[in-house]
Structure 1
Amino acid sequence: MTTSLTEDAARFAADLSFKDIPDDVVRIARRCMVDGLGVMLAGSRHDALAVAECYLQKIGGSPAARVVGHPNLHVTAPQAAFWNGLSGHAMDWDDTQLAEGPNRPYGLLTHPTIPPLAAVMAISEMLGGVSGEALLTAFVAGVEVECKIAEAINPDHYNLGFHTSGTIGTFGAAVAAAKLIGLDVQGIRAAIGGAASMAAGIRANFGTMGKPMHVGRSAENGVTAALLVKEGFTFNDEALDGKWGYLSVAGRGGDPDLVLGRFGQPFVLVSPGISIKPYPCGVLTHPSMDLMKAVMKENALTPEDIESVTLLAANNILHPIRYRIATTELEGKFCMAFLLSSMILRGRAGKEEFTDAFVRSPQVQAMQRRVRTQFDREIEMMGQDRILSRIEVLTTDGRRISRMSDNRYRGGPEHPMSDAELEEKFLDCAQGVLSPATSRKLMDLVWQVERLESSTALLDLASA
């Protein structure tokens, strides 16, 4: 009989085999891995990774693992996990977990894929390669445990300032790494204990390199916890539970009953599902960005037609998206004025738009000052189970245009990106990092990852 959340999570992960994973979960896991590797490739050219390369070369370490997006960097497994996690979140283009419990803010639980994916890519390298089935099984175990813990913890964890992808992501990475190196139930419980003492990240660092570093550290710390346990290091084996457990210490408690006995029943990847991002910024902004694009197109507006734009929304959008005017691309990810300006000026927001040069350009700086946000109590009263907003446009010729966003947003489980759209995103992410032929070959391998004899085939291409 289950006695604790820690035990339940560890037993699920230890017992999970590839044959236990339903076909629809395998299919979605492949999609998450395609997307995750793609955003790692895109992020590998971010300024934060140039800093990280200098840091890793100076501290050194045994060259046990290759990394995604760099042909010459060979580092320790924890360091490889750090690099992969940092690059995977550098552009804020990685997928997001949806909430299902009461009072859980929509889209604000965690970015589920990158911490466990970064961990298994690093551990598989250290092991000299593992089967595709083993890689995918460990990844699924990590995602499931990570998301269920994020669901169980009190929403105050995020609302009061923790960055869940850095904190709860550590548990996903630890479980995925522990599973891949063959720890048993007791070993995985201990690895969760180690993760609990290293899980960190605060939202004050949003808009800086510190935000993606949270995810890099979550992957690194999860791998470290698993490897320490493998060598005999001890940790508390009830570290999620009780008065001094992580849920109480970092979240004013929680509600383990929401998830106890439900690991894999159903898998989070299927229900409530995962959102794959069309834009490299917070998912809370995406419906408003699509709405701005639609208003421009449907009314045949040009940038010169825009006198002013007002975005009306609830605090679930306005609090995290906190910069009034962006002056860097990192700030731009949390600045509605920039995000809507990008849609007004270019009708898109991708790799080319998320650059300091574009954010600082005179036309963007001028357009941002025509865009403002406003709290709307009616939208607030609709609840936080959807990402709702309204856009009001005043044109230079005096027209007033108002439109509300749709409950179904692009990328969410109710309106998912097609496989073709996902492939287009992957190839965009890989552009300038891998050759077109290598990008296509890598993507095709991930689509059939469970058939691989050795995971080394992925890094042979992804590190090229």
Structure 2
Amino acid sequence: MTRILSRKQFLAGLSALGAGAALTGPGRGEVAAADRQAAQGVTEEAANFVVATRYEDLPPELIELGKKHILDAVGLAIAGEKAESGPIVRRYLGDLGVLTGPATILGTGLQAGPRFAAFANGVAIHADDFDDTQLAVAKDRVYGLLTHPTVPTLPAALAVSESLGRSGRDFMLAYHLGLEVTTKLAEAIAPRSYEGGFHSTSMCGVFGSAVCAGKLRGLDAKQLRNAFGAAGAEASGLRENFGTMTKPFQAGHGAEAGIVAVDLAALGWTAAEDIFEAKRGFFAAFGGGWDPGAIADKFGKPWSLLSPGVSIKPYPSGSLTHPAMDVMAALIAQHGIRAQDVAQVRVGTNRQMLNTLIHHRPKTGLQAKFSMEYCMAVLLVLGKAGLGQFQDDIVGRPDLQDMVGRVDFYNNPEADAAGADKMRSYVEVRAADGRTFSGQGDFARGSPQKPMSFDDEVGKFQGCAEFAGLPRSKADRIVTAVQNLETVADMRSVFPGMFV
């Protein structure tokens, strides 16, 4: 059974722990000894795990799966530099005078110091909301709303690897450790955090960034705990910013801030060394509680990327739209449905999906990514939903806006009953002639239940590279480099000069 500590229970329990008393709460009974131990040492456990883990400890299947997610993020960074936020970020960094340094800003001919390159790459990877998505285990955790775990971690791992001349193995180890800590934190914090409006990608991802930078810089466990404390002061992000440039800003901030925390800790900076479990720490402040059973003695047991897995997106929109989009695409293909024949579309989901897909009449490409109505409309009207279909001028087309108005997005109690760990979506298309076509989906292509192969990911990467105008020869070289990362002696040899 999942054990969630309310804030009241948690604080009361901490004060009792010193005297060896049980951690209790109203209607809960005595908490197991394992929970009491977890409440005392999760930050220390995370730091020790990071310091002790070697590349040789990574399962071979984890390494190979990670390459798929790394290639995915690199392609998204290249494409993301073409988003409206790209030139703004580059001008911002130029005005700061920081466009000199050892770390690559992917998709550009620019380099910067590690923290600034990580910020730019984090923004770019998340700009199109096309990056990978953590899956939930417990039914009270929201599938697709835990984190986008690669976006705050890979930029940090890449930037620090390049700045220090680390190997491809060092880079992959740091990336996997950062992703593992990020995902375990997101799984453990109480669901109130997501429901209340915190953006978990940046809120949890700042610690993953610190893991990457700390591992590569060789911090010991005490230094890393101080880095976690400093990173906790930068943990942030609000879901109300979804559909604006500030959503990817939040991801980029998480990637940058973790590096800053490590840079300071390496110089002797101090912070709370129990920031995760402290009575005024991360879990209490952001979640109002947490589930020790989801994180205590769980790092690498199993690795989250292996189980329950992390989904690779088939469409550049919020992952909660994807099962319904797959169902709609299948209905169109099976029945030859044409937009002009559609009277109404109904999409029923759980309430958490309605709480996130908040743009019901989108006017911009960013808003359209968080609009179930638009995602249905664009498939019906244009027959595809790629990067080119989530641009402002396309979203504003009268025929698309008309179809958006015919889509009814509602809460279906049966979807609620299926659990928030699924994206249960009921799709019904009503034709003007009275015919009705319907389907149901829980998981989309790219999820562990319907995984993409590496070749599938290469196709997605090539599409991103083509969208950004990167020559095919250079795109092919990047694919080969990622496939053979374990043979790379110095990460500075991989990307510099690739984008000029």
Shorter-chain TM range is: over 0.9
Distance between the aligned counterparts of 2:443 and 2:121, measured in 1? 31
Q: Quote the offset at 1:95 in angstroms.
A: 0.3
Name the residue aligned to 2:87. 50
Q: Distance in 1 between matches of 2:89 and 2:109?
A: 14
C-alpha distance in structure 2 between counterparts of 1:181 and 1:191, whole Å = 12
SS for the counterpart of 2:357 is coil
Q: Deviations over 1:172-228 (max 9, x none)?
A: 111111111111111111111111010100011111000000000000001110111
Among 333, 344, 350, the alignment partner of 1:297 is 333
Which of 421, 432, 442 is matched with 2:456 structurally?
A: 421
| Whole-angstrom distance in 1 between the partners of 2:233 and 2:211 | 14
Cα distance in 2 between the residues matched to 1:367 and 1:324: 12
CA distance in 1, matches of 2:211, 2:82: 28
Q: State the partner residue of 1:108.
A: 145
Is the 2:109–2:496 contact (alpha carbons within 8 Å) kept by the matching residues of 1? no
Q: Is the 8 A contact 1:64 1:125 kept in 2?
A: no
Question: How far, CA to CA, are the matches of 1:201 and 1:448 in structure 2?
Answer: 35
* Contact 2:318–2:370 (CA under 8 A) maintained in structure 1: yes
The structural deviation recorded for 1:419 is 1.4
CA distance in 1, matches of 2:245, 2:286: 23
**Counterpart position of 1:190:** 226
- Structure 2 alignment gaps of length 5 or more: 1-36
Provide the secondary structure at the position in 2 that maps to 1:244: coil
**SS of aligned partner of 1:105:** coil
Whole-angstrom CA distance in 1 between matches of 2:285 and 2:455:
44
1: distance between equivalents of 2:332 and 2:390?
A: 20
Query: Do residues 221 (structure 1) and 257 (structure 2) align?
Result: yes
**Could you list the per-position Cα deviations for residues 241-261 of structure 1 after superposition, in whole angstroms to 9, with x for gaps in the alignment?**
121111101110211232111
Contact 1:438-1:461 within 8 A present in 2 as well: no
- 1:430 partnered with 2:430: no
1:17–1:137 CA contact under 8 A, matched in 2 = yes
Relative distance call for 1:461 and 1:311 in structure 2 (3 A) is: farther
Whole-angstrom distance in 2 between the partners of 1:214 and 1:192 = 18
Map Cα deviations across residues 298-333 of structure 1 (whole Å, 9 max, x no partner).
111111111111111211211100111111000001
- Match in the other structure for 2:445: 410
**Is 2:156–2:259's contact at 8 Å kept on the other side of the alignment?**
yes
Q: Deviation string for 1:439-461 (max 9, x for gaps)?
A: 01111101111110111122225
Match of 1:352 among 377, 383, 388: 388
TM superposition score normalised by structure 2: 0.90
Question: Which residue is equivalent to 1:265?
Answer: 301
Whether 1:205 aligns to 2:241 is yes
Match of residue 49 from structure 2: 12
| CA distances 1:233-278 after superposition (whole Å, capped 9, x unpaired) | 1111111112111110111021123211111111111111110111
Report the residue type matching 1:368 in the other structure: V
In structure 2, what is the Cα distance between the partners aligned to 1:422 and 1:41?
15
Aligned to 2:289: 253
Structure 1 stretch 180-189 or stretch 133-142: which is displaced more?
180-189
Letter of the 2:382 counterpart: R
Q: Is the 8 A contact 2:99 2:110 kept in 1?
A: no
Report the Cα offset of residue 404 of structure 1.
Answer: 2.0
- CA distance in 2 between counterparts of 1:400 and 1:170 reads 47
Aligned length: 462
1:68 — aligned with what? Answer: 105
Contact 2:359 2:371 in 1 (8 A): yes
**Deviations, residues 82-126 of structure 1 (Å, cap 9, x unaligned):** 001000100001101111135111121000111110101111222
Letter in 2 for 1:315: R
Give the equivalent residue in structure 1 for 2:480. Answer: 444
Once residues 443 and 72 of structure 2 are traced to their aligned partners in structure 1, the CA distance between those partners, rounded to angstroms, is 21
Match of 1:148 among 168, 175, 184: 184
Write the distance in 2 (CA, Å) between the matches of 1:354 and 1:314.
25
> How much has 1:70 moved relative to structure 2?
4.3
Which is worse superposed, 433-442 or 71-80?
Answer: 71-80
Structure 1 residue 401: deviation in Å?
A: 2.1
Change (3 A) 1:83 1:433: farther
When normalised by structure 1's length, the TM-score is: 0.97
CA contact (8 A) 1:66 1:463 kept: no
Q: 1:339 aligns with which of 353, 375, 379?
A: 375
